[in-house]
Every structure is written in structure tokens, then in C-alpha cells.
Amino acid sequence: MDEIIKYFPALTPLQKEQFVILGTVYPEWNEKINVISRKDIDNLYTHHILHSLAIAKFVTPAPGTTVLDFGTGGGFPGIPLAIMWPQCSFHLIDRIGKKINVAKAVAEAAGISNVTFQHGDIGECHGKYNYVVSRAVMRLDELVRLSRKNISRESINSLPNGLLCLKGGELDSETANIGRPIIEVPISDYFSGEFFSTKKLIYVEL
């Protein structure tokens, strides 16, 4: 939790309380349903919550912004971002029902009310959103192809509507044929530590 406060010192008391609850509820659920590697659960705040919040270092959305978390798993990056941006609304989708159930239970325990959930494939999601967010779900070019239909034509932010994706490693082969404006930011620009040395935030305007 100290890592979150270090990089986001302006958190409200409610936001701090909600992030503390995540640190209790995720390990409890992970004992029942493995949504985070059991070897990695002790790194929940750094490797999962803080990593998700790199998106909040890149953009501050306007009130009323809508966000689709594609392939959310147990709720990353959607749940940490929903805490950080209570003025925005989030829809979290995953094809694995057990993981969506964990994300739903975590959000309920933390009193996060600006989230909805869907068990299904991206093809079954017909809503339109300002941004699609995703965390290491698939190749970037495939992600762009599948999520484009869910991007709204109405923009309310200075950053045009598009995809905000957390990826790692070498991405040249994934970005070569996208043909859309791309911004690539090393997450080490935002957070220190070896874990973030190879991690990147990718924004694709759609």
C-alpha cells in the first residue's frame, strides 16, 4: 500500500481505504480461485495494482468518461482504475466466469460502485466506450482489431478515444502493421524498480 501512496499522494481517505481492502480481499479469493499466480500474490500492490495505475499517470479522464476493460481476469487494470477515477464508469469483461466472479466480489467488498461486469467474449460486448484498457491479454495488433468496434465516436477528453494497453518486452512485430497513431511509454518513466524496467504503456488512437 505504501507504493500506491508514494506515487499517488493525493488519494482521498475513501480511495486509501478501498486500496487497503484490495490487499485483504484478493489474497482471500486467490486461495479459492487462482486469479493471480500464487508465487506472485505477495507482490499484489506492485505487480498488479500499481502496474494497473500506470494508465492513471498517462491520462486523467474527464468526468463521465466510459472505459471497457477487455480481458480483465480478476479485475486488472479495471478495478484499481475505477478506484482512482470514481467519476468514470467501467465495464469489465472476461470469458472466464470464475475470474469475473472474483472481480465482482472484490468490487463489492471495496464498495466500488462505478463498475459493471460481463462474462463473455469481446464479440458479445456491444457497448461503445471512450477508452478500452487491457493488460497483457494478447498481441497488440489483434487487440486493436477486436476492440475497434467498441470505441465511441463521441470524445470528451483531450486524449482522443482509443486503446490503453499494458504490455512487456519487444513490441516492434506487434506494432508494425497497425497503421494507427501510437504512443509508447516506458512505465519506468513513472515507477522505479526492476519489475517495471521492461514494462510499457501503449496508447493507440482508434
Which SS3 state, helix, strand or coil, does residue 108 take?
Answer: helix
Question: Cβ–Cβ contacts within 10 Å for residue 156, how many?
Answer: 13
Q: Measuring CA to CA, which residue among 47, 67, 49, 48 is closest to residue 150?
A: 67
Cell of 101: 466472479
- Per-residue pLDDT tens, the chain, 206 aa: give them: 899 999 999 999 999 999 999 999 999 999 998 888 888 899 999 999 999 999 999 999 999 999 999 999 999 999 999 999 999 999 999 999 999 999 999 999 999 999 999 999 999 999 999 999 999 788 899 999 999 999 999 999 999 999 999 998 888 888 888 888 899 999 999 999 999 999 999 999 99
Phi first, then psi, for residue 163 (nearest 5°) are -100, 130
CB 100 within 8 A of CB 107: no
HSE (CB half, 13 Å, CA atoms) of 169? 6
What is the separation of C-alpha 22 from the centre of its chain, rounded to a whole number of angstroms? 15
Q: Could you tell me how many residues make up the chain?
A: 206
Question: How far is it, in rounded angstroms, from Cα 25 to Cα 193?
Answer: 25
Strand-pair partners of 67: 90, 131
Q: What is the pLDDT of residues 97-147, one digit of tens each?
A: 999 999 999 999 999 999 999 999 999 999 999 999 999 788 899 999 999
Cell of 81: 482504475
Which SS3 state, helix, strand or coil, does residue 119 take?
Answer: strand
